[in-house]
Amino acid sequence: MQVPAHFGYDRATSIDHALRLLARHGDQARVIAGGHSLIPMMKLRLAEPEALIDINGIDELRGITVSGDELLIGALTRHADLLSSAVVGEHFPVLHDAERVIADPVVRNFGTVGGSLCQADPSEDLSAAFVALGATGVIRGAAGSRTVPLREFHLGPYETAVAPDELLVEVRVPIRPGGSSAYTKVERRAGDWAVAAAGAAVWLGPDGAITDAGIGLAAVGAEHFTAPEAEEFLRGRAGDDAALVEAGKIAAQHCDPQADQRGPADYKRHLAGELTTRALRRAVARASGQEA
């Protein structure tokens, strides 16, 4: 039987209340959102916080809204809510593609967007999807708010820019015309973490050329979950298949997969390239109106 070590438990009623509780407990406290990464870690005693601060009652952390040319996603938004949101699907199909293959429907009822990003598991899918979209995280601490591009958010495996006394409160995704996006993942069985996964976003000019591209990679040791060399290669090019294949090759060259029970490193590298190309093809097809 797996039982967590002893801890104290506090329920925060507002963001400010949560920040006060975090300040009181110092770095011995951990925020709990869906708990679907933290509780398993505590059961295995890989995490032994002295205090848990439950943020599930904080309504201001919830919700998906469009404000100006940005989509705002509260940190406490559940996977299931992101998946069922029409406005998310309309602007960012990559997020719906990714959510369909994150865990299973029951886990998606509880796991949150903020928890996923803050857990910073190297195989985490939403990080790759948000990185492709050029999203930004809003972090609140006692001194106020700051924004961090998700490309600078992940400092390493299980390590983020959020300090122990801070909260991730929101993710902001810029809505830019002329673009679309897609996510592809290979998993061993339904609901499993990725062997490898790739997200792509492209923006096309009036002539169909790629004006901008974003690529996110999960589970293949890509720094900050991204492939900047492949993105740079695509900018200004016609979005023909040869270019998308070459971009996949470049992404594969620059990642650093590790062999584990999900597969050997060379297989994962192969997947990184192939999945990048497939995600790009789908994003281009969607952006040019050839595919839903």
Partner 1 sequence: MMITVTVNGERHSHDVEPRLLLVHFLRDVVGLTGTHWGCDTSNCGACVVWLDDTPVKSCTALAVMADGRTVRTVEGLERDGELDPVQRGFMECHGLQCGFCTPGMMMTSRWLLDRNPDPSEEEIREALSGQLCRCTGYENIVRSVRWAAENPADDSTEASQEVSPS
Residue 204's nearest CA partner among 231, 238, 171 is 238
Structure tokens at 217: 């990679």
Cβ 175 vs Cβ 66: under 8 Å? yes
Residue 105 binds: one of ligand FAD, partner 1, none (C-beta under 5 to 8 A by kind): partner 1
Does 153 sit near ligand FAD (CB under 6 A)?
no
Residues of this chain, 225-284, that bind ligand FAD according to CB under 6 A: none
At its nearest, how many Å lie between ligand FAD and the CB of residue 131? 13
Residues 89-128, interacting with partner 1 (CB under 8 A): 103-107, 109-110
Interface mask (CB under 6 A) for ligand FAD, residues 33-72, using x and -? xxxxxx----------------------------------
> Is 58:31 a contact under the CB 8 Å cutoff?
no
Q: Judged by CB under 6 A, does residue 111 bind ligand FAD?
A: yes
- Give the residue closest to ligand FAD by C-beta: 111
Q: Which does 8 bind (CB under 5 to 8 A by kind): partner 1, ligand FAD, none?
A: partner 1
Query: Is the CB of 30 or the CB of 269 nearer to ligand FAD?
Result: 30
Are the C-beta atoms of residues 138 and 131 closer than 8 Å to each other?
no
Q: What is the 3-state secondary structure (H, E, C) of 80-148?
A: HHHHHCHHHHHHCHHHHHHHHCCCCHHHHCCCEHHHHHHHCCCCCHHHHHHHHHCCEEEEEECCEEEEE
* Percent helix / strand / coil, the chain, rounded to 5: 40, 30, 35
Residues 6 or more apart in contact with residue 228 via CB below 8 angstroms = none
We find the least distance from the C-beta atom of residue 118 to partner 1, in angstroms, to be: 17
How many chain residues are in contact with partner 1, going by CB under 8 A?
28
* Inter-residue contact 102 to 82 (CB < 8 Å): no
Give the sign of the dihedral formed by CA 146, CA 150, CA 151, CA 156: positive
Among 54, 121, 187, 223, binds partner 1 (CB under 8 A): 54
Contact positions vs partner 1 (CB under 8 A): 1-9, 32, 35-36, 39-40, 42-43, 52, 54, 56, 103-107, 109-110, 190-191
Contact positions vs ligand FAD (CB under 6 A): 30-38, 75, 102-103, 107, 111-112, 114-116, 118-119, 124-126, 162, 167-168, 191, 193
